Amino acid sequence: MTPTPTKPTAEHKYQRARELLGAAAEAPATPSSDTPITAARPPDQLRLRRVCRDRVTAIPARLADLLPADHLARLIWDAVTRLDLTAFYAPIVVVVGGPGQAATDPQILVALWLYALSQGVTSARALNDLCVEHLAYIWLCGGVTMNYHTLSDFRTQQLQALDDLLTQVLACLDQAGLIAYEHTAQDGMRVRAAAGAASFRREATLEKRLAEAQAVVAALTAPPAAATETHSAREQAAQERAATERVARLEAALAELPAAQAAKPAAEQAEARVSTTDPQARVMKMADGGYRPAYNFEFATDTAHRVIVGVDVTNAGSDKAELTPMLDQVAARGDAGRGGHRHRQRRAHHRPRAPTQRPHARPDPALGDRLTRRRGVARPHGHHRGQSDLQTAGGDQRVRQCPGAQSARPAATACAGLAESVGCGVVDRHHA
């Protein structure tokens, strides 16, 4: 007799469901047949597109199209190509087909410094960085690599050529009628020297330090003993070079000491001091009322067209005795152009006016905006403020008759840059 199945109660159903859920949770997961599962691999084993900034990447860019047609860098380059740079090419001895590394074209170096000075850049290291970071400087380089040694040596070693180039630019401006030579304003600007106040020493201290430095050089150049631990050849050369340079600086300071003594009264000449790092610097009263080692940059400017026609660097703290040397310099520069004879005549026949007839000239606000380095003759790494005036000047009959008429405005900018370059070159050469 077959037993009759009993109907499962609700409790039995719940118990059975709990048993099934527990068995499913304890059972291993069964992978799906259509979803492949791979083991996780470390990131260094995966083929990914990763960052690689050391790789040289070809950037499709045409150097000629980096700057707009009216950019200041283009105008300065056009002005430089019209100048006679024979003095800069004279020291170059490498020739096509001969031995030696190719030299950098002086046109590039002149244009780079002129544009950099127009933007307030005076450091060779800063200019070297801009040659790979800023489009205007990259355009001026034209694919030629630069280094700060080349830029610095060019400004310090070509001082006379830069000074002659300033005279050449003034002659071009005079032929274009952009220099009147009617009224010339002169003023000095004190520039802080690199010497510290603690570097100034009297004669006795300088002689003592010189003897010590010479003893160090003698010890370094003497052959080392067998038991003495020697440095590498590179370290030995660096120590000898540093000691020799210190001797040279101290000797230059002693040579400059008579000039410092002559500038003092007889009773105070024994107290004259000279800097061991910058011998030609003098302690001057600065614009803020303090006294610091500095140089006095003298500029002469044609007031009619705001063009710098003379530049000089002195270590005199006053401008009183600088008028006559500046007049002679302006006359000598004027002799190089067509306005030289006219300038000499005006200076010879000059008669002071009566006080009632003297015009009360008001300073033009644009004068400082164009000629001071702080604001610059151009916007910082931008376009020249007077570019719109270039077309107006091109329509002037006097300007059209000049062969370099199209570069009249850039020549004025180049003139200001050259004046500053000559002044900075004088100071840099003293440090060198």
pTM for the model:
0.63
Burial class (CB in 10 A: 0-12, 13-18, 19+), 309: buried
Supply the pLDDT for residue 396: 32
Supply the pLDDT for residue 139: 93
The first and second tokens of residue 161, run together, are 């050529």
Supply the pLDDT for residue 101: 86
Cα–Cα separations (whole angstroms), residue 183 to 59, 188, 326: 52, 17, 13
pLDDT digit string (tens) for 194-244? 888 889 999 999 999 999 999 999 988 887 665 556 678 888 888 889 999
Give the Cα separation of 73 and 88 in Å (integer). 21
At 186, the amino acid letter reads: Q
Contacts 24+ apart (CB under 8 A), 220-228: none
Closest CA to 429 of 279, 262, 317: 279
Supply the pLDDT for residue 126: 95
Give the Cα separation of 159 and 110 in Å (integer). 12
Supply the pLDDT for residue 32: 55
Radius of gyration of the chain (CA): 37
Supply the pLDDT for residue 150: 92
Give the Cα separation of 429 and 193 in Å (integer). 13
Cα–Cα separations (whole angstroms), residue 141 to 111, 128, 146: 9, 11, 8
In the chain, which stretches have pLDDT less than 50? 339-341, 343-409
CA angle at 242 for the pair 237 and 245, rounded to the nearest 5° = 120
The answer to whether the beta carbons of residues 329 and 310 sit under 8 Å apart is: yes
The first and second tokens of residue 299, run together, are 């500029």
Give the Cα separation of 67 and 93 in Å (integer). 34
Cα–Cα separations (whole angstroms), residue 111 to 25, 178, 196, 339, 383: 81, 22, 33, 26, 16
Q: In this structure, is the dihedral angle defined by the CA atoms of residues 209, 212, 218 and 223, taken in order, positive or negative?
A: negative
Give the Cα separation of 19 and 41 in Å (integer). 38
Closest CA to 301 of 173, 147, 207: 173
**How far, in whole angstroms, is CA 170 from its chain's centroid?**
23
Give the Cα separation of 139 and 76 in Å (integer). 12
Give the Cα separation of 111 and 108 in Å (integer). 5
Beta strands in 276-361 (DSSP E): 282-285, 291-302, 307-314
pLDDT digit string (tens) for 378-421? 344 443 333 333 222 333 322 222 333 333 445 555 556 666 66
Domain ranges of the chain: 197-275
Contacts of 42 (CB under 8 A, 6+ apart): none
The first and second tokens of residue 282, run together, are 């003098």
HSE (CB half, 13 Å, CA atoms) of 95? 4
Give the Cα separation of 378 and 369 in Å (integer). 9
Q: Over pLDDT 90: what percentage of the chain?
A: 25
3-state SS assignment for residue 423: helix
Closest CA to 161 of 105, 87, 107: 87
The first and second tokens of residue 76, run together, are 């300065």
Element (H, E) at 137: helix 135-141
Task: Give the residue ranges of DSSP H helices in 225-264.
Answer: 233-262
Supply the pLDDT for residue 115: 94
Mean pLDDT computed over every residue of the chain:
76
The answer to whether the beta carbons of residues 107 and 92 sit under 8 Å apart is: no
Give counts: helices (H), strands (E), the chain: 16, 6
